């Protein structure tokens, strides 16, 4: 069976590192993005320059219609989807819960959790038996991210429950669903939260005394998708330097 992966939100950061690594391991990869077309095309060029196969595909994965179109386009260009990485995630300016408005809360839930639901559902409807899904959660699902992003933490905890429940439903078809929980990783997401230097500020609290690199999260994702993890489902791998 040809290995075909969709990596949502892979124009930059952890998603881009995952797309590159999966391509190097023989997957044809759909590089999904919402607005970063040139960045996504650059990831695709890197992959094809190395002899790999990839496609850039614009889709806002919080929207049902876009998710269906994303799977259609990937199947048409690359073949049946055998692996899915639900990597999209957003957060907004650090704030106490008491100061958050409902539009922000709903946007975080829709982008992070509804997108995961929609992509998992579409994968379950189309994926051949034996496929695999990795949901990119967060250390925040365990800590709750007080004073910063309780909304984001709640969206990730919901993804964890979805991962656990769906893993049991999917087991009868030998489709494995797992989660990774990154800790503090050097990407642009922290600037979106209002603090570009957040990883460096928090480094003293990390047992390994450094922030992580996107490639280190990609390694965990690729392992969970691989045939080295054929007896691993419904579980979570923290990639958080010991936090």
- Looking at 26-34, 49-57, 73-81, 92-100, which segment touches ligand NAP (CB under 6 A)? 26-34
How are beta strands 54-58 and 83-86 bridged, if at all?
A: unpaired
9 binds ligand NAP (CB under 6 A): yes
- Would you tell me how many other CB atoms lie within 10 Å of the CB of residue 25? 14
- Looking at 44-52, 118-126, 181-189, 201-209, which segment touches ligand NAP (CB under 6 A)? 181-189
52 binds ligand NAP (CB under 6 A): no
Nearer to ligand NAP, 150 or 168 (CB): 150
From residue 229, give the alpha-carbon distance in Å to each of 9, 111, 128, 200, 237: 24, 28, 17, 33, 12
- Would you tell me how many other CB atoms lie within 10 Å of the CB of residue 163? 23
- Looking at 42-50, 55-63, 98-106, 228-236, which segment touches ligand NAP (CB under 6 A)? 55-63
162 binds ligand NAP (CB under 6 A): no
CB of 133 to ligand NAP, least distance (A): 14
Selected binder of ligand NAP within 55, 118, 134, 136 (CB under 6 A): 136
Active site residue 152: yes
Selected binder of ligand NAP within 41, 42, 46, 60 (CB under 6 A): 60
145 binds ligand NAP (CB under 6 A): no
CA neighbor of 44 nearest in space, from 95, 5, 10, 8: 10
Selected binder of ligand NAP within 81, 83, 154, 189 (CB under 6 A): 189
> Which residues in this chain contact ligand NAP in the complex, by CB under 6 A?
8-15, 32-36, 60-62, 87-90, 111, 136, 138-139, 182, 184-185, 187-189, 192
């Amino acid at each position: 069976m040809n290995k075909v992966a969709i990596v949502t939100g892979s124009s930059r950061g952890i998603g881009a590192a995952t797309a590159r690594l999966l391509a190097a391991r023989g997957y044809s990869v759909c590089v999904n993005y919402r607005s970063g077309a040139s960045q996504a095309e650059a990831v695709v060029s890197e992959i094809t320059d190395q002899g790999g196969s990839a496609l850039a595909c614009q889709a806002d994965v919080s929207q049902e219609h876009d998710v269906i179109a994303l799977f259609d386009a990937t199947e048409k260009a690359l073949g049946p989807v055998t692996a899915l990485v639900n990597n999209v995630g957003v957060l907004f300016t650090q704030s106490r819960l008491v100061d958050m408005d409902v539009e922000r809360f709903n946007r975080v839930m829709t982008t992070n959790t509804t997108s995961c639901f929609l992509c998992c559902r579409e994968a379950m409807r189309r994926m051949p038996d034996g496929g695999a899904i990795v949901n990119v959660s967060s250390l925040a699902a365990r800590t709750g991210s007080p004073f910063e992003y309780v909304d984001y933490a709640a969206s990730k905890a919901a993804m964890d429950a979805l991962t656990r429940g769906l893993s049991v439903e999917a087991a009868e078809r030998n489709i494995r669903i797992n989660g990774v929980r990154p800790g503090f990783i050097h990407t642009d997401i922290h600037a979106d939260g209002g603090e570009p230097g957040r990883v460096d500020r928090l480094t003293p609290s990390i047992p390994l005394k450094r922030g992580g690199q996107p490639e280190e999260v990609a390694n965990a994702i690729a392992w969970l998708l691989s045939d080295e993890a054929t007896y691993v489902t419904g579980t979570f791998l923290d990639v958080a330097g010991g936090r």
